[in-house]
Amino acid sequence: MPEYNRAPRICVWGDDQAVVFAAQELRRYLAQMTGQELPVVSATEVAECPADGTLCVGTREAFQGAGCLQGIELPAVDDPAFDDAIAIRVQNGAGVITGINPRSVLLAVYRFLTEAGCRWVRPGPTGECIPQRNLAELSADVSEKAAYRHRGVCIEGAVSYENVAEMIDWAPKVGFNGYFFQFRESYTFFERWYNHRENPTKQPEGLTVEQARAFVSQLGQEITKRGLLYHAVGHGWTCEPLGLPGLSWDSQSYDVTPQVQSYLAEVNGKREVWGGVPLNTNLCFSQPEVRRLVIEGIADYCEQHPEVDILHFWLADGSNNQCECADCRVKRPSDWYVMMLNELDALLTERGLPTRVVFLIYVDLLWPPETERIQNPERFILMFAPITRSYSAPFAVTGGSVQLPEYERNKLRFPKNVDENVAFLRAWQAIFQGDSFDFDYHMMWDHYNDPGYYQTAEMMHRDIQHLKDIGLKGFVSCQEQRVFLPSGLNMVVMGRTLWDDTLEFDEIAED
């Protein structure tokens, strides 16, 4: 056992919230492992980068000029704000844990603890496997970057506050770097839980929109504390700016003013709330006033929510519900959509807002625009959402070409097999070469057909390994949150393979 000139400690370089949290997490888990409560000190309290008995934690930028990173190389990345890279050089319980950004530092801490034998098999304290180790026995030498930029989980299903809080806490421990709250308040997902839908043995608790909004605000702070990428909203921009609530997919009657009615999509000769669901209602996008209301609503939201890193601007949910008026018919929905994306970019630029914007390739929008093109690709992220695909075959690049079916307004039939879905992606990639990711549904419905979750996990592993082959830079999983019975294999496979796509499925499963 080495003799240290000073007592073991953790030294934090920088005051970023995520780096400080990373140091606290390192202290907490080392205490469980070793029985030692290491003090945490700031780098401002030391004259130089210490060595003996000290674990130094910080970003590469914070360490510059201190000598800590001598001989330690962080892999190069394209965008230090969105990409993750880590380096760990620890010998006998002392050394450096660093990352390209504050979030990467937290990921590096969890990676070091994983190298030391810790495992997080599901969210919550009962999912932690923490071995008993001697601090002086802990060593690790790691330098790597994530295989994919986008590695996230999206809220869905029926959830409690604790379900989501534990998922956000668990996600970076296995390599995820982002979390997505759908809609402004994610009300429908919390309401299903607290009002006990489909459960005749419990009385509804009467969750309010204000309570759901408070949940999201508090959970957003947990995202920020970890430096995770915060995704928000998605559907709702075709109703909220008009004063119609985008809370859920529940159908009800709405009294709309003649002015608002004139903004709604005309389908089968009628302008009305589609099926009684504002979230599913498209608009008459050929009207400049409609587009102005939508993009100003989005810009206002971005201004009011600077904590959101990636704002999702989607059109209405559902399909074959696009406006049939004479003016809208002159362009495909995707042309009107791209026109709004460009108008939104101009407004965000005018207001000095750096928020990245996700646009959606989904149902009617699978057919790419004929004439419009995105003018500032750096602002936008393409999101491929093949919701009608089969999960019996993985993504793959095939030798043959698939002919896209003709676009026929509101009479579309959507692709079932993977090749057809990828063909639509290819058509969009021909006109947009910017950032992108897959938004997929392995753990939304298909896992219910696989009670052991094993085949689902195996298919997910193959899909993730093939994302690069089809030109995508990551994966955000739209899914139920409580998917850890009988095991968390599916989720651990997702997180670890997104970080390192060379890992074999059997290797993860065996571990």
Q: What is the pLDDT of residue 400?
A: 60
Residues of the chain with pLDDT under 70: 1-6, 46-51, 398-400
Query: What is the C-alpha to C-alpha distance for residues 356 and 348, in angstroms, rounded to an integer?
Result: 10
Residue the block writes with tokens 């989980």: 153
Query: What is the C-alpha to C-alpha distance for residues 484 and 128, in angstroms, rounded to an integer?
Result: 13
- Whether the CB-CB separation of 75 and 120 falls below 8 Å is answered with no
Q: Taking Cα atoms as reference points, which of 438, 457, 461, 439 lies closest to residue 447?
A: 457
Assign 3-class secondary structure to 69-114.
Answer: CCCCCCCCCCCCCCCCEEEEEEECCEEEEEECCHHHHHHHHHHHHH
DSSP 180-201: EEEBSS-HHHHHHHHTTTT-TT
Q: Taking Cα atoms as reference points, which of 264, 222, 245, 237 lies closest to residue 106?
A: 222
Task: Give the containing element (helix H, strand E) for 262.
Answer: helix 258-263
Q: What is the pLDDT of residue 6?
A: 60
Q: What is the pLDDT of residue 475?
A: 98
Q: Which whole-number Å values give the CA distances from 465 to 315, 354, 372, 469, in the listed order?
A: 30, 31, 32, 8
Q: Which residues pair with 88 in a beta bridge?
A: 97, 142
Residues 19-29: tens digit of each pLDDT: 999 999 999 99
Query: What is the C-alpha to C-alpha distance for residues 418 and 165, in angstroms, rounded to an integer?
Result: 34
Residue the block writes with tokens 């995508």: 472
Residue type, position 143, single letter:
S
Angle in degrees, CA 21, 25, 26, rounded to 5: 115
Residues 353-404: tens digit of each pLDDT: 999 999 999 999 999 999 999 999 999 999 999 999 989 888 887 656 788 9
CB-based burial label for 503 (10 Å; 0-12, 13-18, 19+): middle
Q: Taking Cα atoms as reference points, which of 12, 15, 13, 44 lies closest to residue 27?
A: 12
Query: What is the C-alpha to C-alpha distance for residues 483 and 262, in angstroms, rounded to an integer?
Result: 43
pTM of the model: 0.96
- Whether the CB-CB separation of 176 and 153 falls below 8 Å is answered with yes
Query: What is the C-alpha to C-alpha distance for residues 295 and 286, in angstroms, rounded to an integer?
Result: 14
Burial 116-143 (b: 16+ CB within 10 A, else e): bebbbbbbeeeebebeebebbebbbeee
